[in-house]
Every structure is written in C-alpha cells, then in structure tokens.
Amino acid sequence: MYNADGEPKFEFGKRFRNTAKICPFSSILICGGFGNINKGEMDFWNLETLKEIGKSKFPCATKIQWSPCGRYVLASILYERLKVDNSF
C-alpha cells in the first residue's frame, strides 16, 4: 500500500498475489493468488489495523466476489476457463 506521494506505507506479506478485493461495507481486504498463482490462497486483512485476520484456500478458482451484504465471499470455478471440476 502506498501513500498519496507514492511512497510505500505497508506491505501485505511477500507472497504471490494477483487479486485484491475490498469489501464495500467494511475495511476488509481479500488478497489472493488465483489461476496459476499459488493454488487459490486468500488472505483477509483488516485495513484499519493492518493486521491479517484470516486465511482460506479455493484451488482453481476463476472468479471471486464479495456477497451483496459484504459478509460472505463467493469463489467459483467456471466453465469459461476450466472444463472440469466446476463448483462454487
């Protein structure tokens, strides 16, 4: 994370990640590695305290999204990219 001047403010670990999703109703961030990166690992961070609050894993996920209430996360494997093991 960088400040307004472009200087590093905080680092969310030294892991391979290609997805960042902030919950629209709170200050929780999902930092995840999907596709060929890191087997679907997700880290959950509180942006107010800058502390990691949880981890989860969803291998082969192609889509991840917060629920409309902001309480749940939906991860899915979709046919458009993978032809087998489609699930949510």
Residue range 2-26, pLDDT digits in tens = 889 999 988 888 888 888 999 988 8
Q: Of 58, 51, 62, which is closest to residue 28 (Cα–Cα)?
A: 51
pTM: 0.78
Tell me the C-alpha to C-alpha distance, in Å, between residue 81 and each of 1, 35, 40, 87: 30, 10, 15, 12
Residue range 23-34, pLDDT digits in tens = 988 889 999 887
